[in-house]
Chains A and B, each alone.
Chain A
């Protein structure tokens, strides 16, 4: 344990407001030299905003930053680096076509190439960061790329190193190597600010933890003295017991049956889905909880059919095998989809609400039976959406980009609901939506279920999951836990299932227990 002396970095009363949300409020944080300090919190808790303030990317609206006891203003990242603050971002900023050495040289333009090569190798060796200076970045693994970023920081001799979710792209072995490096750095009395939501990692690595929730600091603790459960509790907080507006109705036929679904992600930072099994019946809501980037987008794409047939497994929609069907054929079976991405996927910014109505409703509403579009019919359908779902707009000829986030989401949800689906699959239904619109959207989802439809809700918002779901499953690292009745679990139980890989044996064991 480091000797508590004057802190290297001290934040007091940090506040940062973005339009529509308070990202940080009254945050105090002390980081001692030689300390590995965890910043723990859910998505949207304000961790990234806070470190961006420390690294000079953002400026606080209120509050003071003391560095080595002096009151300082950090205007930009260059200045932060001069102070001795280094940061490794979650998404790397490396040029793939250049070599390791060239990438490092770009950050230190005044340095002589040969000298730099010597220092690079020396530094890399000293901290156990195996690197080959002349290999091109595009042939390197994520772990190797991260090492370049770390070495690039270390060459500037930082007193404080900030790592944003560093293990999210690493294999377990690479993670272990990273931890050894970090411990070596701490032994040299360098401080490390470690951002994570992975409880076990924080417990094994960090000396101290500051826990953020809803932009506020809620607790400080020594992670090794806590259990994963107690950390999860602090991170997630006491949930308001939500009053369910809907008694579980009698279960109908199976609306969606997914068996052994396995996919390979098309995206560079994507997550492969592995062996996913679940079913949703008519008249029930299945909630899939989980932290962003654990396969939610890939699951949504696989279910809507947008990324083609999966590698393995089957998807049945309302009793018909839909594994190889395209999105519109799945819509014809009775399914509708609300993806997470509103602008650019669920709606087109520079198209009118009428055109956006045609976008997904053309199949089920038969707006173009022989290829000709009946724009009058689409127009009155759009009018209905605006009226029934209280979309605030100047009219259906308004561009989608002119709507506020909440209104656009009401429009999108309304567009899908008015198609009278038997299966609704919705991702992040109320992300970034104001409270009024969120309540309206929740109410509509409940009404649809009461009418007998099957609903799958994928959400990172645990409150929402508990408010809506009859059963809850957790997606983590591309695997899905078995679903349990919502009344039998607490948010803490769910929190524990995040960050774990759900293997088949474990699921069987779970089901047997």
Chain B
């Protein structure tokens, strides 16, 4: 049997090199898959990874997709740093969209300038409330936050479907599931005419820098990192574990909720069953691809957004199936985790000296 042994030293460059290598190998693997599907790999890869970045509308779409991924990814990175595994950001995203979007549904004729800020705020609170459930159950009953947060995703999805098909359905919507289209006062202003990129994208850009400041310069950020890397030392330094669990879940939930309401108020303009193409789950990949570092998450969010947009144009112009997008995201995570393992461990061949116990 081969064994894995921890390396005595880990280089900082390896930590940043491994996401790069993962991306390169994903492209290589993707090329092989395209070849096997009878497509020209060079063309397909170009459509996939380069074309989205060559036009202003492509860039706008990348920004629109990257926005929620970065927001959720940043939120998750706090929890993952602290060793709190919030897997249910998708549910918190939906809860945020419901809570914030609900205001637009009730005041659908409003022209108030306060409506949009109020929606953002309630969106954050909605995401937080959804994340508060695993936090409460974990701190009270030591319930596993992975399971609780994950299961709440399905609850949130069903709640959304119920609302948009039942009480909140657009009375003038010919029976289609979906709420009224939000009024202008509840919609994110567009930045350029004819492009979908909106004010929410700009708001999103500020978040990585705020997160960086929190992690690097505040006692709160120090404690998050400390709790994740050395729980006993955290206890020694007077860090209360329940407080960290609450804080990291609320941050993750709050930012996911914000992403949800921005998506509803920005890109979509109403509530409907499909308000997320799985942003909450993809953001887990984004968080790890970005090394749980705010700036890394920003870059990773953009990279993953490219695969979404590339996937869409590949469907249209190269006739590739939609599933390729999910495949690429899976391959990236696979390679990333593999390289991670080898930056921390080395393979040791068995020797006769091995002590058996």
A: residues with CB less than 8 A from B are 57-58, 76-78, 93, 304-306, 326-329, 331, 337, 339, 341, 344-351, 355, 358-360, 362-363, 368, 371-373, 375
22 A-B interface contacts by CB (under 8 A) = A57-B355, A76-B355, A77-B356, A306-B235, A326-B238, A328-B237, A344-B230, A345-B233, A345-B235, A348-B230, A350-B229, A358-B222, A359-B233, A359-B237, A360-B236, A362-B237, A363-B238, A371-B220, A372-B217, A372-B218, A373-B217, A373-B222
Taking the closest CB of chain B, its distance from the CB of A61, in whole angstroms, is 14
Question: Chain A contacts of B140 at CB under 8 A?
Answer: none
Task: Judge if B219 is at the interface, Cβ distance under 8 Å.
Answer: yes
Chain B residues 195 to 249 lying within 8 A of chain A, measured CB to CB, are: 217-220, 222, 226, 229-230, 232-233, 235-238, 240
Shortest beta-carbon distance from A457 to chain B in Å: 18
On whether the beta carbons of A345 and B240 are closer than 8 Å, the reply is: no
* A341 CB, min distance to chain B CBs, angstroms: 7
Q: Are A347 and B233 in contact (CB under 8 A)?
A: yes
Residues of A within 8 A of B55 (CB): none
> Would B222 and A345 count as touching, CB distance under 8 A?
no
Are B218 and A348 in contact, with the CB atoms below 8 A? no
Tell me whether B54 is interfacial, beta carbon within 8 Å: no
Chain A residue numbers with a CB within 8 Å of B13 are none
B154 CB to nearest chain A CB (Å): 30
Asked if B237 and A76 sit within 8 Å, CB to CB, the answer is: no
Contact partners of B235 in chain A: CB under 8 A: 306, 327, 345
Shortest beta-carbon distance, A201 to chain B, in Å?
27
Q: Given A78-B356, A371-B220: A348 and B233 within 8 A (CB)?
A: yes
In angstroms, Cα B7 to Cα A350, docked, is 14
- Which residues of the other chain, A, contact B219 by a CB distance below 8 angstroms? 362, 368, 371-373
Answer whether A355 and B222 are a contact pair too, CB < 8 Å, given A327-B236, A345-B236, A372-B217: yes
Identify A359's interface contact among B218, B220, B226, B355, CB under 8 A: B226
Whether the pair A326, B240 counts as a contact (CB closer than 8 A) is yes
CA distance A373 to B225 in the complex (A): 14
B226 touching A348, Cβ below 8 Å: yes
Please report the total number of B residues contacting A with Cβ < 8 Å: 18
Residues on A with C-beta less than 8 A from B222 are 355, 358, 373
Q: Closest chain B residue to A79 by CB distance?
A: B356
B357 CB–A CB distance under 8 Å: yes
> Within the assembled complex, what's the spacing in Å between the Cα atoms of A363 and B239?
12
How many angstroms from the CA of A344 to the CA of B230 in the assembled complex? 6
> How far in angstroms is the closest Cβ of chain B from A276?
21
Residue ID in chain B nearest A358 by CB atoms: B222
Closest to B231 in A: A344
Q: Write out the residue numbers on chain A whose beta carbons fall within 8 Å of the beta carbon of B232.
A: 341, 344-345
Identify which of B226, B236, B357 contacts A339 (C-beta below 8 A). Answer: B236
Partner of B237, one of A93, A344, A360: A360
Please give me the 8 A-B residue pairs with the lowest Cβ-Cβ distance, nearest first.
A328-B238, A327-B238, A368-B219, A345-B232, A348-B230, A306-B235, A76-B356, A348-B233
A329 to B238, CA, bound (A): 9
With a cutoff of 8 Å between Cβ atoms, the chain A residues found around residue B357 in the complex are: 57, 77, 93
Question: From residue A81, how far is it (CB to closest CB) to chain B in Å?
Answer: 11
A131 to chain B, nearest CB (A): 23
User: Shortest distance in angstroms between A82's beta carbon and chain B's nearest beta carbon?
Assistant: 13
Per-residue CB proximity of B150-192 to A under 8 Å, as 1/0? 0000000000000000000000000000000000000000000
Instruction: Determine the chain B residues whose CB is within 8 A of the CB of A326 once the complex forms.
Output: 238, 240
Knowing A57-B357, A77-B357, A358-B222, say if A306 contacts B217 (CB, 8 Å).
no
Residues of A within 8 A of B217 (CB): 372-373, 375
Given contact pairs A327-B236, A348-B226, enumerate 19 new A-B contacts (beta carbons under 8 Å).
A326-B240, A327-B237, A337-B236, A344-B230, A344-B232, A344-B233, A345-B233, A345-B235, A345-B236, A346-B233, A348-B230, A348-B233, A351-B229, A359-B226, A360-B237, A363-B238, A368-B218, A373-B218, A373-B219
Looking across the interface, which residue of chain A has its beta carbon closest to that of B232? A345
**Residues in A neighbouring B226, C-beta threshold 8 A:** 348, 351, 359
Which residues in A have their C-beta under 8 angstroms from that of B236? 304, 306, 327, 337, 339, 345-346, 359-360
List residues of chain B with CB within 8 A of the CB of A344.
230, 232-233
Kindly list chain A residues whose C-beta atoms are within 8 Å of the C-beta of B230.
Answer: 344-345, 348-349
Q: Which of B251-280 contact A (CB under 8 A)?
A: none
For the complex formed, measure the closest distance between the CB of A493 and the CB atoms of chain B, giving whole angstroms. 34
Q: How far is the CA of A443 from the CA of B238 in the complex (A)?
A: 28
Q: How far is the CB of B142 from chain A (nearest CB, A)?
A: 13
B303-357 interface with A by 8 A CB criterion: 355-357
> Whole-angstrom distance from the CB of A86 to the nearest CB of chain B?
14
Q: How far does the Cβ of A372 sit from chain B's closest Cβ, in whole Å?
A: 6
| Residue from B233, B238, B355 within 8 A of A331 (CB atoms) | B238
Specify which chain A residues have a CB less than 8 angstroms from the CB of B218 in the assembled complex: 368, 371-373
Chain B residues 278 to 312 lying within 8 A of chain A, measured CB to CB, are none
